[in-house]
Structure 1
Amino acid sequence: MGERVLIFLVLVFNYLSVVVAVTVTNDSTALTSLRECWQNTPPNWKGLDPCGDEWDGITCTNSHVTSISLLSMNLTGQLSGDIGLLSELVSLDLSYNKGLTGALPQAIGNLKKLSILILLGCGFTGPIPDTIGNLPRLTMLSLNSNGFNGRIPPSIGNLSKLYWLDLAENKLEGPIPVSNGTIPGLDMLHNTKHFHLGQNNLSGTIPPQLFSSDMTLIHVLFESNGFTGSIPSTLGLVRTLEVVRLDKNSFSESVPQNLNNLTNVQQLFLSNNKLSGPLPNLTGMSVLSYLDMSNSNFDLSDFPPWFLTLKSLTTLMMENTQLKGQIPVSFFSLDHLQTVVLRGNQLNGTLDIGTPNSQQLGLIDLQNNLIRNFQQSNEVSNVKIILADNPVCQGTGARETYCSVTQPNISYITPPSNCVPVTCSSDQISSPNCKCAYPYTGTLIFRAPSFSDLGNTTYYTTLAQSLMHSFQSQHLPVDSVSLSNPIREAIQYLELTLEIFPLNQDNFNRTGISNIGFVLSNQTFKPPRIFGPFYFDGQVYQHFSDNEGEPTKSSKSSNIGIIIGAAAGGSVLLLLLLLLGVYAFCVKKKAKKAIEASYNLGHSNSSIPQLKGARRFSFEEIQKYTKKFSEANDIGSGGYGKVYRGTLPNGQLVAIKRAQKGSLQGGPEFRTEIELLSRVHHKNLVSLVGYCFEQGEQMLVYEYIPNGTLKDAFSGKSGIRLDWIRRLKVALGTARGLAYLHELANPPIIHRDIKSANILLDERLNAKLADFGLCKPMGDGERDHVTTQVKGTMGYLDPEYYMTQQLSEKSDVYSFGVLMLEIITGKRPIQRGKYIVREVRNAIDETKDLYGLQKILDPAIGSGGTLKGLEQFVDLAMKCVAESGIERPIMSDVVKEIENVLLSAGSNPTAESSSTSTSYEEVSKGSSHHPYSNELFG
C-alpha cells in the first residue's frame, strides 16, 4: 500500500513540476526575455525551464545557464539587457545572425564569469559599451563584421586575460586608446595574441606606447583605416609578430629601419600609404613569404640585393615604388617564388629569367617599366610574363604574347572522392562523397595568406583535409567538405566558398550547426600555416532536421497562462511535497540501507562516497549515451574493463569507464576515484562528470579528452608531433596538476601512477592528469609517509617506495622525473632491458652542448638550436629521480623550475595553449612552423 501511495504522489509531482522551473529564477527570466525579444528561436524554446527542458543552444551546469550557442539560426531582434542576469554564463556565441540588431546592452558587463564573447557577422550597431572592460575572465572578444561605431573603449585594456581581440569590419573611429596612468588602454594587453582592427574608420597616429617588448602579439591587422603619421619604431620590439598589415592607410615618412628585427614575420603589408624615404632593408627576415610595399613614394633606388636573402619569398608586390636598374637573374631562382609584380617602376636593361628553381612561378608582371630586351627560354613556358608598356613591346615586338595583358581565369571546386556525382532533387547538393544533402554553407575569409598561386589545387586539398580532421576530432556529424570559387579581393583577402555536408543524413539539426559554427567562430579550427589568420562568415541554415512547423515568435499571452498555471500548481504542489516529505521520512532508513547495499555490491567494508557535484546516472541513460555500448563508441580498454565515448543530451562528449563485472580491482578503485574526483578540481586534472552504480555495473563518467595520451603522441599512434615548447608545456601542466594534489587538496593526495599513459591531451594539447584509481589520500598523521602495499607501474616506480613500502609525495616526484626523461627522449622507461634513468645519467656530459645527449634525444623534439633550456630541464629531472626522497624537490618547486625553463625558451608559462592536434600534424608533415603554434585560447 505504501509503495502505491508513493508512486501516486511521485506521478502527481512530476505532472505538476512541468510548470515549476528547474532553472534558477534569474537565468529563466533572462532567457524568457530573450525569447520575447527574438523571432525564429528554436522550436523547443517553450515553457519556463530552459535547463530542465534542454532548450537548443543552451548548456546548463547545476541549473545555471553557462553557455549560449545559437549560430546561423536566422535570429532577429535585439539583445535584451536581461542577459546580464546570467551570472554563471561562460560562453556567448550568436554569430551569423544578421537579423540581430541594435546596441549591445551595458548589462553585458555584469557577466563576470564570461570567457568567450563572439558576435561575428551579426547586425549590431552603436558604440561598444565601456562595461565590456568589466569582464575579468574574458579571453576571446570577437565583434567583427557588425556595424559598431564610436571609439574603441579604453576599458578593454583591463582585460588582462584577453587572447583574441577582433573588432574588424565595423565603423569604429578615432584613435587607438592607450593608458595614461588613470585611464587604461590597449598597450596593457600583454597577453593578447591578436589585434584585428582592420576595415574601420580609425584615425590619428599610432602611439609608440601601443607596442612594447612585453607584448606577445602575433597578428597586427590594421589595414584599411585612416591612420596617419609615421609607423612607430616600437613595432620592431614585438618579436613574436608573424603577420603585419598596415596597408591602405595614410602613413607617411620613412619605414622604421628596425623592422627587420621581426624575424618571425611571414606576411608584411605596407602598401597604399604615403611612405617615403629609403626603401627599408629587410635582411634577416628569412621566413618572410609575402611582401607588399606597393604605391609608396620611396627614394629612387636600384633593385635591392637583400631581396635575394628572402629565401621563403612566394610573393613580391612592389608596384610604383621607384625601383630602377636591372633585375638580376638570380632573383628568379628563389626556391618558393610564385608571383612578382613590379609594375610602374623604372626597371631597365634585359630581362633574363634563367631557369627558375620554383615550379610554382606563375606570374611576372613588369608593365610600364623601361625594359628593352627579353631573354626568352623554353623552360619558362608556364610562366605568364607581362611586359606591356615597355620599350621591348614597341614596333614589331608588340605582337609578342608577353606584350598583351590577360588575367588568368582561376576556378576550383573540390572533386568527387572516387565516386560518380549524383543528380539531386529539390535544392539538395551532391557532396564530394556523391551523396545528396543540404550542406551548411558559408565563406572562409583568409586575411593574409602567404601564397598567391590561386590555381594550386594542393593548397585547397590540404585545407579540406585539415577541416575534416578538425571536425572529426571534435566528433561532429560531418561527412565531407567542399571548397570552391577562390577569389582574391581588392584588399588582398582570399575568399573560398565552404560547404559542409552532414553525416549519414540529409540535413543537420540545430546542435550540429551550432557545434560546427563554433569550431570555426572561436578558432578551434587552425588552418595550415600558409593560409594565415581567417574568419568564417556562415549563412543561415534553412533545413534543420528538427523543425516543428513555423519558428517560434514572441508570445507574451501564452506565458501569462503558464505563470497563472504555475502559481495554482505551486500551491497544490506545496501540499503534496509536505505529504511526500512525511512519507519519505518514514522510509528513510529503509531507503538508505537499500542504497548502501546497492553501492557496496557485497563489499561489507565499503562506505558510500562523499560526493560534491558528481551526477549519478542510471544504467539506461548510459546505454542511451553510448548507443548501447556500440563498437563505434569503444575507445579503449584496460584491466578494469572498457572505455566508451558518449554524448549527453546537451551535446557534451564524455568518456565512460565501465568496470568488468566481478573485477577485483573495480570496487575499491571505483570508490576512490568517485570520492577523490568529486572534491578535487583543477584545469590539469581530468574532471569527473558523474557515475553509475546499479544493475551490477560500476561506471565513471569523465569529460572527454580528444587527443589521446602522451604515450600515444610519443609512439606516433595519435599522429600528433610535439616540439620542444609543447613538451615543456605538457610537463608544466602535469606538474601543476600534481602540485595541486600534493599541496592544495585537503587532505593531500598521492597519485601513485604518474606515467605517460595517464597524461591526456585535450583539444589544445593541454595536459590533464587522469586515472586516480591508485590514489592515496594522506591523513593528518600521515603527512610524511604512509606504510602501504606497493602499487604503480614498473619503470616509473620509486625504488625507495618499492624497497621500504613507505609512500610519500616524493614517490610521485620520482615518477614525474622519469616522465620528464621520457618527454625528452620519447623512449619508454624500460626499453630492451635499458632503464631510462640509468641511460641518461651515464650519457650526461656537462662540458658539451645539450649535455651530450643528442644521440638519445627524440628526433621529433627539434634541433639543438631550438632546445633552449634543455640542460636546465635535464638537471631538474635528475633531481626528481634522486635515490633518496629527501633529496628530491617538492612539486611546487618543480613547477617554478619548468616555468623558468619556458621563459628561457622564449615562451610565456602563464599562458595556456590553444594549439590543436591539427596544428601539430601540420608540423609532422613537414611544416616548419605554424602561425598559431604558441597561442592561447581559453
Structure 2
Amino acid sequence: MPSTKPFLSEAILAILICCFLQPAIAQVTDPFEVDALKNIWSSLIDPKGNLNNWKSGDPCTSNWTGVICYNTTSRDGYLHIKELQLLKMNLSGNLVPELGHLSHLKILDFMWNQINGSIPKEIGNITTLELLLLNGNNLTGSLPEELGNLPNLDRIQIDQNHISGQLPKSFANLNKTKHFHMNNNSISGQIPRELSRLPSLVHFLLDNNNLSGHIPPEFSQLPKLLILQLDNNNFSGSSIPDSFGNISTLLKLSLRNCSLQGPIPDLSKVPKLGYLDLSWNQLTGSIPSNKLSDNITTMDFQNNNLTTISDTLNPPANVSIWLYRNPVCSNASQLNILQLCRPETNEQRNSSNVDNVDINCGPCPTVDYEYNPLSPFSCFCSVPLHVWICSVEESGIFQF
C-alpha cells in the first residue's frame, strides 16, 4: 500500500503557507488608515446599522459602506482611502481627531446627519482634501484655524449647524477654495478683510449668522466673486461699500436685513448683476437712476428710508422692483411708481430667483461641475466650457 506521508506533508505545508500569507492578503488598506476608520466608527452612533460591515474585513476590498478607495496601490504597497461618503445615514455621535489620519482623502462628507461636537482641528492635516461637507448637522464650537492649511480645498460646507466664534484669518490661505457655504450658524464678529485675497472665491454665503462690524470694502478686489449673500446679520451703522460697484463678475448681491445705513452705491459697472436684495435696512437717499445690468431680474428695496426715484423709471415686465415701505411711495403719483410700491406677497417672493442657488444642495457630481446660479431649477449643475478668455457654462451663464 503506497505511503500517504508525502501527501500529508504537502498538505500541511500548503495550509501553513496559506496561514502565513493570509494577513498580507487581508491587510490591503494602509493599516494606519484602517485604525483611523475604526476610531471614527467607534465614535459614531449608527441606529440603522448602515456601517455594520465596518466590523470586519478590509475597507477597500470588502467595500465598507461609504468608503471609496483609490484603484491602485501606492508606492508603500497599500491602497489608500480617497473618499468618505456618509451622507444622510442618520448618524450621530462625534467627529474624532483620527479623521486627520486619512492623509490621502479628497472628499469628506458627513452631510445631513445629527453629528454633535466640534470640528476636529486635525482635519487641517489632510492636505489632499478637496471637499469638506459637514452641513446639516448639530456641530458646535468654533472653526479651527488649522482648516486654513488645506491647499487643495475646493469647497467648504458647514451651513445648517451651530458653529460659533469668528471666521479664522487663516482662511485667507485657501487659494483654491471656490465655495464658502457657512450660512445658518452663529458665526460672529467682523469678516476678516484678509479674505479679500482669495483668488478663486466664487460663492461667499454667510447669511443668518451673528456677524457685526462692517462689510470689508476690500471684497471688491475678489476677481471671481459671483454670489455675495450676507442676509440677516447685524452690520449696525455700516454702509454698503462704494467699491462694490467695481465687482464686475457679481451675479447676486443679497444684504437683506443687515442694519445697513447710508446711500445705495452706483452699481452701473456690475454688468452681470441679476439679483439685488437690499431690503429691510435703513438705506437713505435715492434709488440710483444709473443703468443697471441688462440681466437684472429682481431689485428689492423694501423697508428702507429711500426718498426719491426717477419719474421715468419703467422697468421691463420681466424685472421685479419692490419699494414698499419707503418714503418715496407716499409721494408717488405716477401709476408705474405706485405699482412698484405694492407689498410683495409670499407667493411672489417664492417665485423669484432669491433661492435659485440652493444653499442646502449637496455637492455637484464632481468638482468639475458648478451650480448654475441663474437656473430656474433648484440645485442645477452644469460643466463650465472653458475658452481662451473666459468660460461659458452650457446653460448660458458666464463663468470666469
TM-score with structure 2 setting the length = 0.83
Aligned residue number for residue 29 of structure 2: 23
Asked if 1 retains the 8 angstrom alpha-carbon contact of 2:357 and 2:372, the reply is no
Aligned equivalent of 1:321, options 323, 326, 336? 326
Counterpart CA distance in 1 for 2:289 and 2:120 is 48
Q: Residues 168 and 281 of structure 1: is their aligned pair in 2 closer, same or farther, counting only changes over 3 Å? A: same
Counterpart CA distance in 2 for 1:209 and 1:130 is 22
Q: Residues 81 and 160 of structure 1: is their aligned pair in 2 closer, same or farther, counting only changes over 3 Å? A: same
SS at match of 1:100: strand
SS at match of 2:294: coil
Counterpart CA distance in 1 for 2:333 and 2:310 is 7
Aligned residue number for residue 283 of structure 1: 291
Aligned equivalent of 1:32, options 19, 30, 38? 38
Aligned residue number for residue 529 of structure 1: 374
Following TM superposition, by how much is the alpha carbon of 1:125 offset from its aligned partner in structure 2, in angstroms?
Answer: 0.5
In the alignment, structure 1 residue 73 sits paired with structure 2 residue 89: yes
In the alignment, structure 1 residue 217 sits paired with structure 2 residue 225: yes
Following TM superposition, by how much is the alpha carbon of 1:312 offset from its aligned partner in structure 2, in angstroms?
Answer: 7.1
Counterpart CA distance in 2 for 1:314 and 1:11 is 77
Following TM superposition, by how much is the alpha carbon of 1:322 offset from its aligned partner in structure 2, in angstroms?
Answer: 2.1
Following TM superposition, by how much is the alpha carbon of 1:35 offset from its aligned partner in structure 2, in angstroms?
Answer: 0.7
Aligned residue number for residue 3 of structure 2: none
In the alignment, structure 1 residue 726 sits paired with structure 2 residue 385: yes
In the alignment, structure 1 residue 110 sits paired with structure 2 residue 125: yes
Q: What is the RMSD computed on CA atoms of the aligned residues?
A: 3.6
Deviations 1:873-924 (A, max 9, x none): xxxxxxxxxxxxxxxxxxxxxxxxxxxx52xxxx3xxxxx7x8xxx52x4xx
SS at match of 1:204: coil
Asked if 2 retains the 8 angstrom alpha-carbon contact of 1:163 and 1:191, the reply is yes
Following TM superposition, by how much is the alpha carbon of 1:216 offset from its aligned partner in structure 2, in angstroms?
Answer: 1.0
Q: Which structure 2 residue ranges, 5 or more long, are not aligned?
A: 1-5, 74-78
SS at match of 2:89: coil
Which amino acid letter does the alignment assign opposite residue 272 of structure 2?
N
Q: Residues 495 and 259 of structure 1: is their aligned pair in 2 closer, same or farther, counting only changes over 3 Å? A: closer
Which amino acid letter does the alignment assign opposite residue 326 of structure 1?
S
Counterpart CA distance in 2 for 1:521 and 1:273 is 38
Aligned residue number for residue 66 of structure 2: 57
Following TM superposition, by how much is the alpha carbon of 1:17 offset from its aligned partner in structure 2, in angstroms?
Answer: 3.2
Aligned residue number for residue 76 of structure 2: none
Asked if 2 retains the 8 angstrom alpha-carbon contact of 1:120 and 1:145, the reply is yes
Matches within 5 A, 1:328-477: 328=335, 341-343=340-342, 452=349, 454=351
Identity of counterpart residues, as a percentage?
25
In the alignment, structure 1 residue 131 sits paired with structure 2 residue 112: no
Q: Which moved more, 1:47-56 or 1:68-77?
A: 47-56
Q: Which has the higher helix share?
A: 1
Which amino acid letter does the alignment assign opposite residue 319 of structure 1?
Y
Greater Rg by CA: 1
Following TM superposition, by how much is the alpha carbon of 1:279 offset from its aligned partner in structure 2, in angstroms?
Answer: 2.0
Matches within 5 A, 1:68-217: 68-97=84-113, 99-178=114-193, 185-212=194-221, 214-217=222-225
Asked if 2 retains the 8 angstrom alpha-carbon contact of 1:23 and 1:50, the reply is yes
Q: Residues 94 and 521 of structure 1: is their aligned pair in 2 closer, same or farther, counting only changes over 3 Å? A: farther
Asked if 1 retains the 8 angstrom alpha-carbon contact of 2:154 and 2:367, the reply is no
Q: Residues 236 and 118 of structure 1: is their aligned pair in 2 closer, same or farther, counting only changes over 3 Å? A: same
Aligned residue number for residue 237 of structure 1: 246
Aligned residue number for residue 926 of structure 1: none
Counterpart CA distance in 1 for 2:190 and 2:380 is 25
Asked if 2 retains the 8 angstrom alpha-carbon contact of 1:117 and 1:142, the reply is yes
SS at match of 1:127: coil
Counterpart CA distance in 1 for 2:54 and 2:234 is 45
Q: Residues 230 and 10 of structure 1: is their aligned pair in 2 closer, same or farther, counting only changes over 3 Å? A: farther
Asked if 2 retains the 8 angstrom alpha-carbon contact of 1:267 and 1:291, the reply is yes
Counterpart CA distance in 2 for 1:280 and 1:7 is 89
Counterpart CA distance in 1 for 2:225 and 2:16 is 59
Q: Residues 528 and 135 of structure 1: is their aligned pair in 2 closer, same or farther, counting only changes over 3 Å? A: closer
Deviations 1:513-543 (A, max 9, x none): xxx965479795745834488699xxxxxxx
Counterpart CA distance in 2 for 1:39 and 1:517 is 22
Asked if 1 retains the 8 angstrom alpha-carbon contact of 2:289 and 2:309, the reply is no
Asked if 2 retains the 8 angstrom alpha-carbon contact of 1:287 and 1:311, the reply is no
Aligned residue number for residue 12 of structure 1: 18
Following TM superposition, by how much is the alpha carbon of 1:243 offset from its aligned partner in structure 2, in angstroms?
Answer: 0.4
Aligned residue number for residue 293 of structure 1: 301
Q: Residues 216 and 85 of structure 1: is their aligned pair in 2 closer, same or farther, counting only changes over 3 Å? A: same
Following TM superposition, by how much is the alpha carbon of 1:171 offset from its aligned partner in structure 2, in angstroms?
Answer: 0.3
Which amino acid letter does the alignment assign opposite residue 30 of structure 2?
V
Deviations 1:616-669 (A, max 9, x none): xxxxxxxxxxxxxxxxxxxxxxxxxxxxxxxxxxxxxxxxxxxxxxxxxxxxxx
Asked if 1 retains the 8 angstrom alpha-carbon contact of 2:356 and 2:377, the reply is no
Matches within 5 A, 1:581-660: none
Q: Residues 280 and 252 of structure 1: is their aligned pair in 2 closer, same or farther, counting only changes over 3 Å? A: same
Counterpart CA distance in 2 for 1:934 and 1:494 is 16
Counterpart CA distance in 2 for 1:521 and 1:200 is 29
Counterpart CA distance in 2 for 1:528 and 1:160 is 22
Asked if 2 retains the 8 angstrom alpha-carbon contact of 1:175 and 1:205, the reply is yes
Q: Residues 197 and 191 of structure 1: is their aligned pair in 2 closer, same or farther, counting only changes over 3 Å? A: same
Q: Which structure 1 residue ranges, 5 or more long, are not aligned?
A: 179-184, 333-339, 344-364, 367-406, 411-450, 455-487, 499-515, 537-719, 729-900, 908-912, 923-928
Following TM superposition, by how much is the alpha carbon of 1:286 offset from its aligned partner in structure 2, in angstroms?
Answer: 1.4
Deviations 1:159-210 (A, max 9, x none): 01111111111000000012xxxxxx21111211111111100001112223
Counterpart CA distance in 2 for 1:326 and 1:530 is 36
TM-score with structure 1 setting the length = 0.37
Aligned residue number for residue 598 of structure 1: none
Following TM superposition, by how much is the alpha carbon of 1:284 offset from its aligned partner in structure 2, in angstroms?
Answer: 3.6
Q: Residues 210 and 116 of structure 1: is their aligned pair in 2 closer, same or farther, counting only changes over 3 Å? A: same
Following TM superposition, by how much is the alpha carbon of 1:43 offset from its aligned partner in structure 2, in angstroms?
Answer: 2.1
Which amino acid letter does the alignment assign opposite residue 333 of structure 2?
Q
Asked if 2 retains the 8 angstrom alpha-carbon contact of 1:118 and 1:522, the reply is no
Deviations 1:56-95 (A, max 9, x none): 1111123111110110001110000011111111110110
Counterpart CA distance in 1 for 2:12 and 2:272 is 71
Q: How many residues align?
A: 379
Aligned residue number for residue 268 of structure 1: 276
Asked if 1 retains the 8 angstrom alpha-carbon contact of 2:372 and 2:380, the reply is no
Q: Residues 531 and 155 of structure 1: is their aligned pair in 2 closer, same or farther, counting only changes over 3 Å? A: farther
SS at match of 1:68: strand
